[in-house]
Amino acid sequence: MNSKQKKLLTRIIISAIFFVPLYLISEEIVHVEMPKIALIILFLIPYLTVGYDILRKAFLGIKNGQVFDENFLMTIATIGAIVLGEYGEGVAVMLLYQVGELFQSYAVGKSRRNISELMDIRPDYANIEVDGQIEQVDPDEVEVGSIIVVKPGEKVPLDGVIVGGKSALNTSALTGESKPVDVEEGYTVLSGSINMTGVLQVRTTAEFEESTASKILDLVENAASRKSKSENFISKFARVYTPIVVYLALALAILPPLFIMVTKIGIGGYATTGAIWADWILRACTFLVISCPCAVVISIPLSFFAGIGGASNAGVLVKGSNYLETLSEVRVIAFDKTGTITKGNFEVTAIHHNPIEEKQLLEYAALAECHSSHPISLSLQKAYGNKLDPARVSDLQEISGHGIQAKVDGHDVAVGNEKMMKRVGVEARPCHHVGTIIHVALDGAYAGHIVISDELKPNAKEAMRQLKKAGIEKTVMLTGDAKAVAEKVAAEVGLTDFRAELLPADKVSAVEGLLKECTGSKRLAFVGDGINDAPVLSRADIGIAMGALGSDAAIEAADIVLMDDDPLKIAKAIKISRKCLRIVKQNITFALGVKILCLLLAAIGIANMWVAIIADVGVMILAVLNAIRCLFVKNL
């Protein structure tokens, strides 16, 4: 509890100590002879103790022209009650209202703290070595390229590359994956992971601001500013609802007693006309108490906030409440193949060469690919094995969906698929292997091809099964690879459909085609690894980048970022979003249901102010507790 909350609590307690005996006296449960005026003055002590700030805010609100806020409603209602002789109720309403306010501010503060605890990745210091001594400094002050020391049990403060030591890292705060990762010299480490066993020397590759931990915290903290439809609906609703109820209250205070007086109906039930007015005005005050939309207004942003926090704890970064909401409506998912469904580590399975040697063919291909970060390029370089001299390569041109053209040792080399061969006017020789065929042309003549094949990700099949179970109707793979490969992969993992041999632009039109099929509230998601699929990521209703930890481009382009490359996370993200939205809907229905019921009961005179305020505070407490459930979605 912070000092502000403690102060409010003290006021509530003092006020309650005064209130209880006074209430017993006023209800004549305890008999004490006292003039009425003395009782009223005594009641003002607990009333002002607990409510003076509400009265002040209401007054300031009126002065600034913002009439219809909760403070105004509470002020009018409680003063109304006191003036009408219901001192006890008037004070009690103010007291309970403050109890609700205290709980709400405590719960919101607590869940915010919870999220930062859950996301325990903000590093406090970095160790640097100065003259053989280890010194703790603010991570902000460490320059790129410095060597930092990370001891066992410490958080890695900045992104970098290990230059000494061996250890196991716990990356669960980043990826949600609790299995430790073994690392040694040459491995990349990301800030926010925890060093478990050995001392590591790390050469930093990013400043603190640009490091993974800072970026993730930034994303989560800013997510609340991208509002969902539900949140927008509620704030609009509150703006309309409160004045409506106030006018209804006014009508309730004036019309029925007027009607009764004019028609003289039911007069017998009342002692005097004054009593008629008092009765209906009191009902109107009850109306005002009920009209505070606090529970819904507070619980919905809180649900989303908690949901986003819970999701990031599970390794799913959601960039805004709106995306969480859209994700829950996804029924069609399009996937990229390489790096998303398959591992993207291509193994060379065969080399068919004609005029030149096998080794030579691979060398030309690897050299041409030496500047690209495409998974195929990396695999060819790895297959070649020897060191590549980039000075031998010039005039390099990467054509996405085709391959690469370059000059190697003065020869024209083209490496890529059949489209690439067509482009350079060389006839590609067909191959009997099923796999990704990388053709090589040398000085305008066909030189042979390299067959590479990729492996499915271990969880790909299970991921599709879970998606189907979660009600995803259509799973479509979009790939630039050959049809034979696509067909095989699609059948093995159990996709409902696939499109092959697509250029990046074709992928966009394929997604547009699929978007047309999504009728009603069905939404389409695209899942990719962020390598050359940024346009599709942004074209889909929702773009999901996977394995994107450390890849800026993907984090930029996507709406949701899966921190590791496990395809099971897709189903998990969907489940989290659905649970969150379910909780939001429960809260809306429950809170509004109780409100409407209370309004009806108050109008016909069954519910008094006690019922109204208890219902209000009770609903608020339940709704906030329900919202906090969104935090605990990791093990869905």
Which amino acid is it at 588?
I
> How far apart (Å, rounded) are the C-alpha atoms in residues 594 and 442?
77
The angle that helices 70-83 and 87-118 make with each other, rounded to 10 degrees, is 160
* Shortest CB 633 distance to Mg ion, Å: 30
Which partner, ligand ADP, Mg ion, none, binds residue 204 by CB below 5 to 8 Å per kind?
Answer: none
Catalytic residue among 140, 182, 279, 336: 336
Residue closer to ligand ADP (CB basis): 307 or 344: 344
* Shortest CB 533 distance to Mg ion, Å: 5
Say whether residue 405 binds Mg ion (CB under 5 A): no
> How far apart (Å, rounded) are the C-alpha atoms in residues 248 and 312?
44
Among residues 193, 338, 405, 466, the one that binds Mg ion under rule CB under 5 A? 338
Q: Taking Cα atoms as reference points, which of 584, 565, 636, 561 lies closest to residue 320?
A: 561
Which pair of structure tokens corresponds to residue 105? 């501010």
Which partner, Mg ion, ligand ADP, none, binds residue 50 by CB below 5 to 8 Å per kind?
Answer: none
Residue closer to ligand ADP (CB basis): 242 or 436: 436
* Shortest CB 519 distance to ligand ADP, Å: 27
The angle that helices 321-328 and 229-263 make with each other, rounded to 10 degrees, is 90
Residue closer to ligand ADP (CB basis): 202 or 406: 406
> How far apart (Å, rounded) are the C-alpha atoms in residues 531 and 552?
11
Rg of the chain over CA atoms, in angstroms? 34
Q: What are phi and psi of 154, to 5 degrees?
A: -95, 160
Which pair of structure tokens corresponds to residue 529? 């690894």
* Shortest CB 419 distance to ligand ADP, Å: 7
Please name every residue paired with 194 in a beta bridge, in sequence order, or none if there are none. Answer: 155, 170
Q: CB neighbours (10 Å) of residue 517?
A: 12
Which partner, ligand ADP, Mg ion, none, binds residue 89 by CB below 5 to 8 Å per kind?
Answer: none
> How far apart (Å, rounded) are the C-alpha atoms in residues 179 and 220?
24
Which pair of structure tokens corresponds to residue 336? 């990229």
Q: Helices (DSSP H) in 291-440: which residue ranges?
A: 294-313, 321-328, 358-368, 375-384, 418-423
Residue closer to ligand ADP (CB basis): 161 or 350: 350
Run of H or E residues at 316 = strand 316-318
* Shortest CB 333 distance to ligand ADP, Å: 15
Residue closer to ligand ADP (CB basis): 72 or 498: 498
Residues 519 to 548 in contact with Mg ion, rule: CB under 5 A: 531
* Shortest CB 70 distance to ligand ADP, Å: 54
In contact, 511 and 331? CB cutoff 8 Å: no
Residue closer to Mg ion (CB basis): 235 or 509: 509
Number of residues in contact with Mg ion under rule CB under 5 A: 3
Which partner, ligand ADP, Mg ion, none, binds residue 70 by CB below 5 to 8 Å per kind?
Answer: none
Residue closer to ligand ADP (CB basis): 175 or 532: 532
Three-state SS at 272: coil
Which partner, ligand ADP, Mg ion, none, binds residue 377 by CB below 5 to 8 Å per kind?
Answer: ligand ADP
Residue closer to Mg ion (CB basis): 298 or 537: 537
* Shortest CB 540 distance to ligand ADP, Å: 15
Binding segment (CB under 5 A) for Mg ion, from list 119-127, 232-240, 335-343, 499-507: 335-343
* Dihedral angle of Cα 67, 70, 72, 76, to the nearest 10 degrees: 140
Residue closer to ligand ADP (CB basis): 60 or 505: 505
Residue closer to ligand ADP (CB basis): 73 or 408: 408
Residue with tokens 């590479």: 452
Which partner, ligand ADP, Mg ion, none, binds residue 401 by CB below 5 to 8 Å per kind?
Answer: ligand ADP
Which partner, Mg ion, ligand ADP, none, binds residue 127 by CB below 5 to 8 Å per kind?
Answer: none
* Shortest CB 508 distance to ligand ADP, Å: 12
Q: Are strands 133-137 and 126-130 parallel, antiparallel or unpaired?
A: antiparallel
In contact, 173 and 314? CB cutoff 8 Å: no
Q: Is 131 a catalytic residue?
A: no
| Residues sharing a CB contact under 8 Å with residue 100, sequence separation 6 or more, in sequence order | 294, 616, 617, 620, 621
Q: Helices (DSSP H) in 64-133: which residue ranges?
A: 70-83, 87-118
Which pair of structure tokens corresponds to residue 264? 């003289």
* Shortest CB 381 distance to ligand ADP, Å: 11
Q: CB neighbours (10 Å) of residue 606?
A: 11
Run of H or E residues at 175 = helix 172-175
Three-state SS at 394: strand
* Shortest CB 506 distance to ligand ADP, Å: 9
The burial of 272, by beta-carbon neighbours within 10 Å (0-12 exposed, 13-18 middle, 19 or more buried), is given as exposed
Binding site for ligand ADP (CB under 6 A): 336-338, 369, 372, 374, 376-377, 398, 401-404, 415-417, 436, 438, 479-481, 532
Q: What are phi and psi of 219, to 5 degrees?
A: -60, -50
- Beta strands in 454-512, from DSSP E residues, in sequence order: 474-478, 497-499
Q: Which residue number places its CB atom closest to ligand ADP?
A: 480
Which partner, ligand ADP, Mg ion, none, binds residue 416 by CB below 5 to 8 Å per kind?
Answer: ligand ADP
Binding segment (CB under 5 A) for Mg ion, from list 334-342, 397-405, 436-444, 548-556: 334-342
Please name every residue paired with 342 in a beta bridge, in sequence order, or none if there are none. Answer: 338, 456
Catalytic residues: 336
Chain residues that interact with Mg ion, rule: CB under 5 A: 336, 338, 531
